[in-house]
Every structure is written in structure tokens, then in C-alpha cells.
Amino acid sequence: MNICCTPFHNTLLPLILICLLVPAGCSLIRSPLNQAREYSKNEQYDAAVEKLTGIIDSDASEQEKAQAFMFRGYAYSNLKEYRYAYRDYQVAWKLSCHIYQNLNETTENNETEFVPAQACIEEIPPLIDELKPFTSDFGAIMATQEASAIVKKMFPDIPR
């Protein structure tokens, strides 16, 4: 049996081997959001926070950033960093509601199961409520102020 090894095969084979041996190596193929989800599923919350912060700081769409803030809030919650989780959920809520209110064909993302209306109305408010017992009144106020500052800086077109 004669195996042909063209330059394409020579670069593809190591990539496949990396993905088979090291799940993190597949980040070359997976989207950053899906990679962050994998980190969270594997309880690698610090890695998830790092990956999601990269998405938030990138030129990703508003919808991707809303998802990233929501997932990062989840990761912070599991790290017991409740103030940061509260802040990120607040940003995700504000951004999701903004997207929902201004939804058109260009903002819909069929690649993910993220639905801004559902996130705004059904998903994020209970997540914020669940954090209240773990956050002091002062911490909640500070987190809300930080969230407002983030929204104002990153998304200046969103009304207050």
C-alpha cells in the first residue's frame, strides 16, 4: 500500500494528532466560545475566563460578546468570584436586551443556540438573583457601577 504524502497531508496529519491527543489543541478548529464552553465543562474555569476575556476584548460581534459575558459570569460564579460574576451577568443582560430590542436579520446568529430575547428575559435575571445571597449590598452596587462603566465604554450606542 502506497500512502501519498503531499504538503497538505503533511500539515493536516500533525493538526489531527494534536486534536486527538490534546483537547486544547483543537482551539485552532473550534470557535473561541466553544473552546471556553469546553473549559467550563471540564471545570477549567480560569482557562475559560481567560478565553472569554479574549473574546470580550476582541472585535467580536455584540451577540458574541453578550454570550462571552454570560459564560464568563458563569465561570466566575464557579470560581466563587461573585462580584465579577454579578458584573458580567449585568453586562450580558444589558447587551442581550439591547440586541433583542434592536433585532434584525443581521444580528441573528444561527451558529449558536444563544437567543438574545431568551437571555434577556428568562436566563440572565435568575442568574443575577442567585448571586444576591453571596454578594453584599455594597458589592452589588459596585458590580453594577462597573457593569455600567463597561457598557458605556464598550457599547456607547446603547442607551442608559
30: pLDDT confidence band, cut at 50, 70 and 90?
low
> Domain locations in the chain?
8-154
Whose cell is 490534546? That residue is 22
CATH topology of domain 8-154: 1.25.40
Q: What is the spatial distance between Cα 135 and Cα 128, in angstroms, rounded to a whole number? A: 10
pTM for this model (two decimals): 0.77
Q: Tell me: the pLDDT tens digits for 34-85?
A: 999 999 999 999 999 999 999 999 999 999 999 999 999 999 999 999 999 9
- Which pLDDT does position 37 carry in this prediction? 93
Asked whether residue 132 carries a pLDDT value surpassing 50, the answer given is yes
- Which pLDDT does position 99 carry in this prediction? 94
Query: What cell does 6 get?
Result: 503531499
| Cβ-based neighbours of 19, under 8 Å, separated by 6 or more | 25, 26, 28, 29
Plot region of 15 (φ>0 → left; ψ -120 to 50 → alpha; else → beta): alpha
| Cβ-based neighbours of 35, under 8 Å, separated by 6 or more | 24, 26, 27, 51
